[in-house]
Amino acid sequence: KGAQKPKPQGPQKVAGIDRVIAVASGKGGVGKSTVSANLACALAAEGRRVGLLDADVYGPSQPRMLGVSGKPASPDGKTILPLRNYGVTMMSIGLMTNEREAVVWRGPMLMGALQQMMNQVQWGALDVLIVDLPPGTGDVAMTLAQKYVLDGAVVVSTPQDVALLDARKGIDMFAKLGTPIFGLIENMSTHICSNCGHEEHIFGHGGVAKEAQEMRVPLLAEIPLHLDIRTASDGGAPIVVSKPESPQAQAFRDLARKL
C-alpha cells in the first residue's frame, strides 16, 4: 500500500449553506451592492433563509444599506456571530474594519479575510448565501470560485458601453473559473422621475440586452434609476423593505424569483 495521497483541494461546500450566489460587476458604482441588498431582502421576504456576505473590501456598504452597525461578537474567540436585519443574516468586511478606514490589503490578507467570513461566521442553516464581491476581476472573486462551490454568478452593469466592456470581462472570468453565469442585470436602466414619473434613458437603452444576447447569457432584470432606490439604501432600509409595493421594489422581487 502506498502512502495516502493528499485530498485534492477542489472547491468546498460550507456546512449548512445550500447555495452560494455571487454578485459581481466589472467596475464600481454600477449598483452591485444595491442589487445584493435588495435581492437578499426580497429572498428573505419570500421566506427563504438568506445570508449576505459583503466581501467588497474597497467599499463595504452593506452595514449602511441594511441599517446595522457595531462590531460582530465572538464569544468563543473562534467563531464570529453575524448580524441580522430584515430577515437577512449579514457579515461584512466593513464590520471588521473602521468605516472611514481605507482598506489597503494585499492578496493573501484578502483571501484570509474571505475564508474567515465563509468558514468562521456562524451562518446557521441557509438556503442561499449572496456574496457581494468587490468590483472587477480580482483575487476575492477568484479565491471564492476556487475554494468554494459557487452555484452561480450574476453580473450587474449599467447601460453605458464602458461598464458593459467591464461586465464582459467579469463574465469571461467566471466562465474560465467554471462558475455558471445566471445572467446579467441592467441597473440604472431608465430614469424614472420621482416627481412626474417621466421615463428617460440617461445611459442609453438596449445595450445590456444586446450584450446579453451576444454573450448568450440571460438578461435577468432591468432595474430603473429612481431616487427612492438611493434614499432607501442610504436610509438603511432597502426599497424592497421600505416601499415593497412600488414598481422599483417589484423589479427586485421579480429578480429574486428567478434565482
Task: Please spell the DSSP secondary structure of 100-133, one letter per residue.
Answer: TS-----HHHHHHHHHHHHHTB---SEEEEEEEP
Report, in Å, the least distance between residue 249 CB and ligand ADP.
11
Binding footprint of ligand ADP on the chain (CB under 6 A): 25, 28-34, 59, 61, 187-188, 223, 225-226, 229-230, 233
Nearer to ligand ADP, 44 or 221 (CB): 221
Which amino acid, residue 210? K
Calpha distance 174→140 (Å, rounded): 12
Q: Min. distance of Cβ 229 from ligand ADP in angstroms?
A: 4
| Nearer to ligand ADP among residue 229 and residue 259 (C-beta) | 229
- Does the annotation flag 176 for ligand binding? no
Q: In sequence order, what are the beta bridge partners of 20?
A: 129
User: With respect to ligand ADP, which residue has the nearer C-beta, 18 or 228?
Assistant: 228
Does residue 5 have a known ligand-binding role?
no
CB of 121 to ligand ADP, least distance (A): 21
Cα distance between residue 254 and residue 258, in whole Å:
7
Phi and psi of 78, rounded to 5°? -120, -45
Pick 46 or 234: Cβ nearer ligand ADP: 234
Q: Check the annotation: does 154 bind a ligand.
A: no
The minimum distance between CB 258 and ligand ADP, in angstroms, equals 18
**Grid coordinates representing 100?**
472611514
Can you give the length of the chain in residues? Answer: 259
| Cell (9 digits) for 104 | 489597503
Residues annotated in the binding site, as ranges?
Answer: 26-33
